[in-house]
Amino acid sequence: MSRPPSGNWLRGTVIRKGGSSVGNTRTSTPQIQSTSSTVFGGGVKDASGRVSEYSSMDDTCPVCKSDRYLNPKLRLLVSACYHKMCESCIDRLFTLGPAPCPICGKILRKLAFTPQTFEDLGVEKEVAIRRRIAKEFNKRREDFADLHSYNDYLEMVEDITFNLINDIDIPDTEARIAAYRRENAALIELNVQREEQYQKYLKEQEEAERQEREQIALELRRLEEEEREERAKERREIIDKLETSDKDAAKLVARSRADALRRAHARSSSSTVANARLQRSRTAQSAVVADVPHVPLQDDWYTYEDKFVLRDDYDDPASEAVRRDRDGIMRAGGYRVEEAWERALRSAVAGLEIMPLQGLSNEDSAHPNG
């Protein structure tokens, strides 16, 4: 038995029977074949192209310190306390039942681990909390009597979300959420049904638009096919006429082209009618939005017209140049100097009915700012 050359043996080369050698040098980074369920450098993507599970070649389990160099099939999952662990550690620690997290000590269950969607676990936590809060606090603007109450409600929701994201007063915050859930259970369920109906409406609209696009595409393909057949028929007719007629060839060709042009105009008009029909059907399928009538302001607005008399001449140097501008170069459309005077008079007489301050001494009245 002959030994391989010493040089090949030192390089870790395998000598086969055919005399060829294959290098067995170990690279620093393992070469992993990406599949539909394992896509590194960007995460696992679903059919729509969105990342449904984030993963990276630099992933390392913080519990067992395993990485992708040692375990090419490493998969990290996120716990309810937003710490990552590999599947082997999860099976080892939580298969027998709930157990404390090896990082923070929170009691966890095996089923509570979820795939990681975002690279930053802080973003992962915020998205999960906001998704949970949105299911509970789903009131709309029409559920409130005025805009101020609605803004207060939004501020309360944001305070609760901020506390959960930053781990501030968690017991009190959870108690507020539970109390809100008990008090508004019927309204929460009603808004859930509204949202489901709205999503169903959007799907129906999307399906109707898809069918309409398909109808338009079929109509266009049919028209194109008819146009091709018509052109072939016209060429055959011209050739037959040229072969059998003794008239001028130029006149025959011109007459045939005129007939073809007339038929093309008829086809274009028919296609326009078909498109108009499709557009009317789309308009009929769309939801009709009720036109709410305009309701003017119902308050008792006092214009102070009985407290002043508007003249047509005032000593107003600021408006003299505007008054002399007969061509309207300095005035915007519809602007009149009298409107500025009227506004100034209204502002001057608006406070005449305000009662003076009472109970002040003469000294205080003489020096109100002292």
Indicate whether 11 pLDDT > 80. Answer: no
Half-sphere exposure (Cβ direction) of 270: Cα atoms closer than 13 Å = 13
Which residues are CB-neighbours of 230 under 8 A, at least 6 positions away?
260, 263, 264, 267
Chain segment 82-104, per-residue pLDDT in tens: 888 898 899 888 888 889 998 88
For the segment 230-251, the average pLDDT, to the nearest whole number, is 77
Indicate whether 20 pLDDT > 60. Answer: no
Type of residue found at 54: Y
pLDDT at position 6 is: 45
pLDDT at position 188 is: 85
Please indicate whether residue 140 or residue 330 has the higher confidence score (pLDDT).
Answer: 140
Spatial separation of the C-alpha atoms in residues 6 and 360, rounded to whole Å? 113
Chain segment 145-181, per-residue pLDDT in tens: 888 888 988 998 999 999 888 888 888 988 988 888 8
pLDDT > 90 fraction of the chain, expressed in percent and rounded: 1
Contact 323, 337 (CB under 8 A): yes
List the one residue out of 282, 218, 240, 231 whose CA is nearest residue 260: 231
Q: Is 296 exposed, middle or buried (CB count within 10 Å of its CB: 0-12, 13-18, 19+)?
A: exposed
Contact 148, 141 (CB under 8 A): no
Give the chain's mean pLDDT: 75
pLDDT at position 281 is: 61
pLDDT at position 329 is: 72
Lateral strand order in the sheet of 114-115: 84-86, 76-78, 114-115
Chain segment 272-298, per-residue pLDDT in tens: 666 666 566 656 555 555 566 767 667
pLDDT at position 5 is: 46
The pLDDT-based confidence of 51 (bands split at 50, 70, 90) is: low
DSSP for 300-366 reads: -----GGG----S----HHHHHHHH-TT-SSS-TT--HHHHHHHHHHHHHTTTTSPPP-S--HHHHH
